[in-house]
Chains A and B, each alone.
Chain A
Amino acid sequence: MTLQPMIALSDVSKSFTLHNQGGAVIPVMAGAALKVRPGECVALVGASGAGKSTLMRMIQGNYLADGGRIVVGSVDVARADPREIIALRREVLGHVSQFLRVVPRVPTLDVVAEPLITLGAAPDAAHARARTLLARLNIPENLWSLSPTTFSGGEQQRVNIARGFVHDYPALLLDEPTASLDPTNREEVLTLIEEAKARGAAILGIFHDADARARVCDREVDVGRFTPIAP
């Protein structure tokens, strides 16, 4: 039996119009299509600038697609209202970016627990789950009550990962989840990804780490195929 895809893109296109630079239009993507099924991990590959991040951002609703369909679960992100995308991100579509963006002075434990509390989890249960993840990712316990804004790059990355895995999202976008991690933490993150796959999460990621990609990814999609042909 073939499972219905959790993430399905068809004919997605994107261009940027720079109004303050003479209205230059830069086409960056055309005819993008891919599918990710539950339990599957798909890697986006392609040269730097090919549009891997742009595609991930469009799936998240962070960039507007010009055309095509971007279906995640039951929502077409390319056409959805902001509130539908907000609900999708809250419940269905998790995201681990390379950058940590948080309100200054909020303790790390609260930063990690927040997605669960927003979903209506009891604060105690949410904090317990956050503690488990922070411990697994080797963030020293004496840092949990501090804001992650003062942490090192690697520590911020791991806080971001803990936050992205705190809820069992049915779909996950991972942008370089193992970048700037030492071997121990890299191993822990790869295990988290394997666990997420085992529980049926559909994962789409960018992994520059070829060994990591070979270990957790089932397929690769070359984004270079979606680069528009110059007229």
Chain B
Amino acid sequence: MTPLLDVRNITKSYGARLGCKDVNFTLWPGEVMGVVGESGSGKSTLLGCLAGQLAPDAGEVIFDTRAEGPRDTLLMAEAERRMLARTDWAFVHQNARDGLRMGVSAGGNVGERLMAVGARNYGDIRTRAADWLDRVDIAADRMDDRPGTFSGGMQQRLQIARNLVTGPRLVFMDEPTGGLDVSVQARLLDLMRGLVRQMGLSAVIVTHDLAVVRLLADRLMVMKDGHVVESGLTDQVLDDPQHGYTQLLVSSVLQV
């Protein structure tokens, strides 16, 4: 089996300030990896570099493409990388407004992604959009409403539908449950777990919420000051942390 994503020595600086340095990992099909660390640890920079939104200073991001097998996405032409981002990748933003078109209806938000990969039949697009809205628990009678009229949790579920309708293989998530009520978070977590399993998705989830990674991620990477300080099986890293920073992080979580 070939890893879906093979990341080697990713380094990114902003002038004199370090974003992330020498990050290495492999992600296998169906695997979910969590990246945790506090604000400024470099986890969002890393995600941006992986998803083609930021240009790293050094390193390789080798993705197992459907047509040609493993290829370094950083060496691809911009047009090719954008096509990959539409067909094979998905990016779920913390703020649903960054991932949605607020002036377009919910159905349009989902249908637009289908059209971007070549769907043209209106009836077919609408049927598939309706199917996906149903899968993320958005009532059929809200299909023609704009996302601005939705609650935060609904917007986030709509963003997930918009991202997954094209059947991507790799999903990047940046704080997907950030800013949501805990009850809404739980529903979203359950939805994401189900979709990951049903679709055999691989995912990289950046968050500062250790409870989220415990429930969603198979593996965990802990970042501090741009460096990966520890990685391993999620429950092992959380229950038997080896690095001083991880020990501090785990022992700082408030118990409820």
Contact = CB atoms under 8 A, between A and B. Distances in A.
Contact of B186 (A16, A19, A85, A105): A105
A62 interface: yes
A61 B238 CA distance: 12
Nearest to B220: A82
B233 A61 contact: yes
B215 interface: yes
A106 B239 contact: no
A150 B189 CA distance: 18
B3 to A, nearest CB: 10
A63 B236 contact: yes
Interface string A45-79: 00000000000010001111000000000000000
Interface in A7-27: 16-20
13 contacts: A19-B243, A19-B244, A19-B247, A19-B248, A20-B251, A57-B239, A62-B240, A64-B240, A86-B218, A101-B214, A103-B215, A105-B183, A117-B197
A4 interface: no
Given A18-B247, A64-B240, 5 more contacts: A19-B247, A64-B242, A103-B189, A104-B186, A105-B190
Contacts of B193: 103
Most buried by A among B236, B239, B251: B236
Nearest to B239: A62
Nearest to A101: B214
A215 interface: no
Most buried by B among A16, A63, A82: A82
B146 interface: no
B233 A63 contact: no
B247 to A, nearest CB: 5
A117 B196 CA distance: 13
Nearest to A86: B218
B208 interface: no
Contacts of A16: 240
Contacts of B244: 19-20
B232 interface: yes
A104 B215 CA distance: 10
A63 B235 CA distance: 9
B218 to A, nearest CB: 5
B219 interface: yes
A27 B209 CA distance: 31
A85 B197 CA distance: 18
A118 interface: yes
